[in-house]
A and B are shown apart, each in its own frame.
Chain A
Amino acid sequence: MLHVVACIKQVPDTKVIKMNPKTNTMDRASAPAILNPYDAHAVEEAVRLKKRYGGTVSVLTMGPPPAVKAIKKCIELGADEGYMISDRAFAGADTLATSYALTKALNKIATIKPIDLIICGKMTIDGDTGQVGPGIARRLDIPPLTSVKKIVEINKEQGYAIVHRKLEDGYEVVQSTLPCLFAVEKEINEVSFAPLPNMIKAARYQPHIWSVNDLEDVDRKQLGLKGSPTIVAKVWAPPKPEGGKLLEGIPEEQVKQLIGIVLEKKELFQGKGGVQ
């Protein structure tokens, strides 16, 4: 029986986020909050492992109270328990401070039920760093395995896992001792639709919510803004390039002009195309 913990995050949907063109700031209210899409694959994989080997799936997140919604989404996907750490003390954390806080929460979860495996998504779509997963693994002193695209075997009795790690031109088969941490690629699975009973369970589900006072051995200097070595000094609109020349005329003429421009680089085309 495995105990797998998936670390997840609620993020603004950066695809639809709008910018205020006057102030160059983000209108966060314009973006719906969603479960980080890469984390959905992590939860899905944890649930598949539960079906394969038996056991429990827990999810853990750090965030403001509305992030409960992301936990409920994970319950819909088949997770059994949800844990959230939520406190002003965590606010403003960079990846180093985030991995510290999550590690303290994982230690507490482990006292409730020992953890065999931690799964994270490859990265979040708001931070785009992919640094928190390996950070957690280092803090817990367990092997981090990033770029995991397939889980071949988990053998709890003999204490090992075998996975495929994606390489640029293929993959490698890696064996690791358990417990360990995987950061998974989205190609690892297709996220299933939530079955109705899970949706009902999720609607009623109340996650465990912990403040900083609920965690053990916390050095407050390592939390939140205070514990974050990186600071965002400046946020700015990307430099606007000069802008191109728009071709004019009816489509036929535009296309002819364009082909004239492109074919000035004729060395690129010799021996290519045209003749069928």
Chain B
Amino acid sequence: MNFEDYKGIWVYIEEQEGVIAPVSLELLGAGRQLADKRGVELAGVLIGNRVKHLSQTVFEYGADTVYVYDDPIFEHYRTEPYMYALLDCCQKHKPEVILYGATPTGKDLASAVATDLPTGLTADTTMLDIEEDTGLLLASRPAFGGNIMATILCKKYRPQMATVRPKVMKALKREPGRTGKVVEERIWLREEDVRTKVLEIVRETTKKVRIDEADIVVAGGKGLESKEGFQLIHQLADVLGGAVGASRDVVEAGWIDHHHQVGQTGVTVTPKIYFAIGISGAIQHLVGMQNSGLIIAINKDPHAPIFQACHYGIVGDAFEIVPLLIEHFKQALAHLNEAAVTEEEVRHA
């Protein structure tokens, strides 16, 4: 394998119903840094049906080139056609690095592509760097359930590939009008050659606040002792108008649904305020919330690692502190809103 032939950093652009997944824009930001360090191009690979116009967005978030596979066969994500498109693109244009969002789709696609190329694939990366001279990708990720970090290299194969957790990297500020080169590609695959068919898509709209979009997340852990004890978390979240989060052991104990799990095997959140209550703060939890604006920890154990990761902490019993918080927040918020109303009235008077 001649490494000289492989040039450029690529980001797989995940798209659904005409919308680019936020993680792909984040990866363009991360990819831009890697590309600049190496002095190479940053490209997006866009696969879908009627997606060509999205190239402009990809340029505005940092790409120099966009490879587009636009065909009705890509109407719904299916492993095989998407994989063949990416394999085709790799064969023609030979990138040195490909990044994918660590979403269900990104992981599915990356695993298949890595096997066929073949090459190495690092999962759920949370830190990326590249050696300027050799182009060796340094992909770091929490390992062993998040107890340690590992830096993983792929020295002997190209391209080097990684899936990257959503919400860990930062998208660049959009630069309207920024443009680049569109390369239109085709693969000669017929629908009857594809062995899977999407028969129906069922959207389940739920009322619940999505924790990855909430400004305030109140998360509870095993310190709440039982499903009943965990109700305190719901109550505080209600008062604050926030979403409920949970540690993995709480989800495994069945106190709350998996959608609420924050951390390595759950959701990454970046709220403006994060409450960690009765959560000890294993690294696997920390990687899921450490980019929150203001982190507040409440835990009985003064040595709990969460106190190293928070901005403010209270060492104390959740069953004592949280009811006090609920009561005082209710009062304080009533005041705040009264004051806001009064200000408004004064302004309009």
Contacts and interface: CB of A to CB of B under 8 A. Distances in A.
Interface of A: 12, 14-15, 17, 19, 24, 26, 37, 94-96, 99, 123, 125-131, 133-135, 137-139, 143-147, 162, 166-177, 180, 186-187, 228-238, 240-247, 251-252, 254-256, 258-259, 261-263, 265-266, 268-276
A259 B334 CA distance: 13
Given A26-B144, A176-B196, A230 B152 contact: yes
Given A230-B122, A237-B148, A169 B155 contact: no
Most buried by A among B118, B202, B216: B118
A173 B286 contact: no
Nearest to A25: B148
B312 A274 contact: no
Contacts of A230: 120-122, 152-154
Main secondary structure of the interface of A (DSSP, over half): mixed
Given A15-B249, A243-B308, 6 more contacts: A128-B123, A186-B258, A244-B309, A246-B307, A263-B332, A273-B238
Nearest to B199: A173
Interface in B330-345: 330-337, 340
Contact of B147 (A19, A127, A135, A231): A19
Nearest to A130: B107
15 contacts: A15-B249, A17-B147, A131-B121, A133-B111, A134-B108, A167-B104, A174-B196, A233-B138, A238-B286, A243-B310, A244-B310, A245-B313, A273-B239, A273-B329, A274-B333
A240 B290 CA distance: 11
Contacts of A170: 201-204
Interface stretch (B31-39, B88-96, B173-181, B292-300): B292-300
Contact of A238 (B103, B149, B310): B149
Interface of B: 76, 78-80, 83, 103-104, 107-108, 110-112, 114-116, 118-124, 138, 142-157, 195-205, 215-216, 238-241, 248-249, 252, 258, 264-265, 272-273, 283, 286-287, 290, 293-297, 302, 307-316, 320-321, 324-325, 328-337, 340
Contacts of B119: 96, 229
Contact of B309 (A130, A168, A241, A246): A241
A27 to B, nearest CB: 10
Given A174-B196, A244-B313, A246-B307, A259 B107 contact: no
B123 A130 contact: yes
B115 A99 contact: yes
Main secondary structure of the interface of B (DSSP, over half): mixed
A242 B308 CA distance: 6
A73 B140 CA distance: 34
Q: Which 7 A-B pairs have the closest CB atoms?
A: A14-B145, A229-B120, A274-B334, A274-B333, A134-B111, A272-B241, A129-B123
A268 B215 contact: yes
Nearest to A146: B108
Contacts of B205: 169
Given A24-B148, A143-B196, A235-B150, A246 B315 contact: yes
A170 B259 CA distance: 12
A186 B254 CA distance: 12
